[in-house]
Amino acid sequence: MRASHRPSRRVRTVAAFAVSLSVGMGVSACTAKPELTAEKLSETDALLHSLVEGGSTVLADVDGTGIDASKAFFETANDVVISASSQDAQLKAAAIAVDLGAPMLIRHPGTEEGVEKEVSRLGAQRRIQVSSEDPADTSMEAEEDAEDLALIDETPPLAPDAGPGVPQIIERGASSVNPAKTPVLATEATSLAAVATATAKRIPITVLSHPDPRVTRESMDQVQGKQAVALGHQFGSSEYFRGAVDMAANGELPGGGGLVFPGRRMVALYGHPSGPALGQMGEQPPAEAVQVAQNWVEQYREYTDELIIPAFEVIATVASGGPGDDGNFTNETDPAELVPYIDAITEAGGYAVIDLQPGLATFKEQALIYEELLKRPNVGLALDAEWKLKPGQAPAAQVGSADAAGINEVTEWLAELTRTNNLPQKALIVHQFQVAMLPDRQNINTDHPELSFILHADGHGTPGQKFDTWNILLENLDPRFFVAWKNFIDEDQPMFTPEQTYTQVNPRPWFVSYQ
């Protein structure tokens, strides 16, 4: 007896556990892949072009059902493959969908109504329902007949031990025809239903290691001057994705790609050109400081195959015990004094970050002083909330704090500066070692593809104290933030070695600084 959610027309149900066949097994004529001819390529180009008429777009598929992809790629479909939510069922369903050239949908708990509406919209006359071999997964009932079993027999399944399912699906539907004019991008986090549905339509898909088209030189080249389609909410909103695609034309950062992170890690010296009192960088002239940073980098390379580049975090405005002529309790360094250090590190293939200790000034007011330096492609900005004061406060009398509104003001300005000057993405570091320093951190707007948001955890002391601070600060952190770690040469007891920093700190910090 059919369940009440099924229509009265004939329903085919496929039990994923019925047969297990090798990937190399042939496919019979009834399930042969539709060939991608030149004519079909033109149809594909036309379809994709219609999706990006308003600009690059994201098919978010937030619920993981694949409905968004089905709506985008299929006006109608005679066949539809519906999978239970378990991984084994999805791998089998994806193989069937690709071989039949049919859309795939996944019935996750709570999505039943939406899936049924999409089946109705497609006008599907044939439902192939793939159940799970896991008895705990009751999202799809098994109803077998001879034809269902024949179909399972004739469909080589995706192999769960052969790596992630997304590349397997794409390979299964691979064609020698040239890629479509509109790039379609996915990651391994994209739902199998979305990838299978696109592949069933013989739409070429590029799988990226990170959900941003700027992640490698090759992906930047692929989207440059074009509109693109992204599969999965991990790419952000369509507006965010459009910005990322547009910025692919803005050049690469040291080591390749247009993103600050991932693509490289950094090891930095912190300090001020005036001398050693404010950090290790100022203990020596620019060229020698670069060599010190390079020496640290070499020690870290032993523990990763990833690219590591040297960096300077250059203090530009220094908190002051007195109000000064302008009454803001901060001393603004002449931008010209920073140039030798910035030149030295960037000419060595590294990165520079300008650090602000604003006192009573706003971050934006101080950033404007260094606007010309921030127009350089390898120069980012750091915001030090410890030294952000409220009226009536003085530095060192208490730990300062910065609200999201003040941070959003300067990040919006920096994003616009980056965008209008056609610059690659910039590092935007926010320093924190107490929760109260960023009391409404959750309201920081990270929806700027122009900026790479980095939370720099600045706790010092014993390893236990540092880890306690680290773990607290990472709680409920916006996933768009990358994380940074500081090693204090004098205050840590003892200071972490490069090996400890890269093997014991979890997650591994993208940016490590020495102070």
CATH number, domain containing residue 309 = 3.20.20
AA identity, residue 364: K
Let me know whether 405 and 320 are in one domain: yes
Residue 174: band (very low, low, confident or very high) from pLDDT cuts 50, 70, 90? confident
The mean predicted confidence, pLDDT, of the chain is: 88
- Provide the pLDDT for residue 117: 98
103 or 319, higher pLDDT = 103
pLDDT of 149 over the 60 cut: yes
pLDDT at position 165 is: 82
Residue 241 shares a structural domain with residue 276: no
| Among 91, 86, 139, residue whose Cα is nearest residue 115 | 139
Q: Residue 305 sits in which domain range?
A: 265-514
Clarify whether residues 59 and 163 are in a common domain: yes
Q: Report the length, in residues, of the chain.
A: 515
Residues 83 and 185 in one domain: yes
Instruction: Kindly state whether residue 6 falls inside one of the protein's structural domains.
Output: no
Which of 183, 212, 247 corresponds to the end of one domain?
247
Chosen domain end from 196, 212, 247 = 247
281-300 pLDDT, tens digit each: 999 999 999 999 999 999 99
Tell me, yes or no, whether 255 lies in a domain: no
Domain check: are 328 and 452 in the same one? yes
pLDDT, residue 430, reads 98
- The pLDDT confidence band at residue 152, using thresholds 50, 70 and 90, is low
Q: Does 501 score more than 80 pLDDT?
A: yes
Tell me if 472 is assigned to some domain.
yes
Task: Specify whether 116 is located in the same domain as 177.
Answer: yes
* Residue-level pLDDT at 14: 44
- Structure pTM? 0.88
Final residue before a domain boundary, out of 188, 221, 247: 247
Structural domains counted in the chain: 2
CA distance 505 to 342: 29
| Chain segment 436-472, per-residue pLDDT in tens | 999 999 999 999 999 999 999 977 889 889 899 999 9
Residue 20 has pLDDT above 50, yes or no: no
pLDDT tens digit sequence for 50-78: 999 999 999 999 999 999 999 999 999 99
Classify 2 as helix, strand or coil. Answer: coil
Query: What is the pLDDT at residue 43?
Result: 84
Report residue 492's pLDDT band, with 50, 70 and 90 as the boundaries: confident
Q: Are 96 and 191 in a shared domain?
A: yes
pLDDT value of position 19? 33
Phi, psi of 222, rounded to the nearest 5 degrees: -65, -35
Instruction: Confirm whether 253 is domain-assigned.
Output: no
Q: Is the pLDDT of residue 505 over 90?
A: yes
495 and 375 housed in the same domain: yes
Residue 396's pLDDT band (cuts 50, 70, 90)? confident
Residue 187: partners with Cβ closer than 8 Å, 6 or more residues away: 166, 207, 208, 209, 210, 211, 232, 234, 235
Residues 385 and 279 in one domain: yes
pLDDT beyond 80 at 116 = yes
C-beta of residue 205 within 8 angstroms of C-beta of residue 170:
yes
Q: Per-residue pLDDT for 47 more than 50? A: yes
Q: Are residues 243 and 269 in the same domain?
A: no
* Type of residue found at 462: T
Q: Residue 379's beta-bridge partner residues? A: 352
pLDDT greater at residue 38 or residue 191 = 191
Task: Give residue-wise pLDDT tens across range 222-250.
Answer: 999 999 999 999 999 999 999 999 999 99
pLDDT digits (tens, 9 = 90+) for 328-384: 889 999 999 999 999 999 999 999 999 999 999 999 999 999 999 999 999 999 999
Same-domain status, 318 and 411: yes
User: Tell me, what DSSP letter sits at residue 267?
Assistant: E
Tell whether 440 is covered by a domain: yes
Flag whether 252 is in a domain: no
- For residue 363, tell me if it sits in a domain: yes
The mean pLDDT value for 111-128 works out to 95
Q: What's the pLDDT at 445?
A: 98
Do 196 and 336 reside in the same domain of the chain? no
Is there a contact between 272 and 315 (Cβ–Cβ < 8 Å)? yes
Average pLDDT over residues 424-435: 97
Residue 178: how many other CB atoms lie within 10 Å: 10
In a domain, 258, yes or no: no
**Residue 29 confidence (pLDDT) above 80:** no
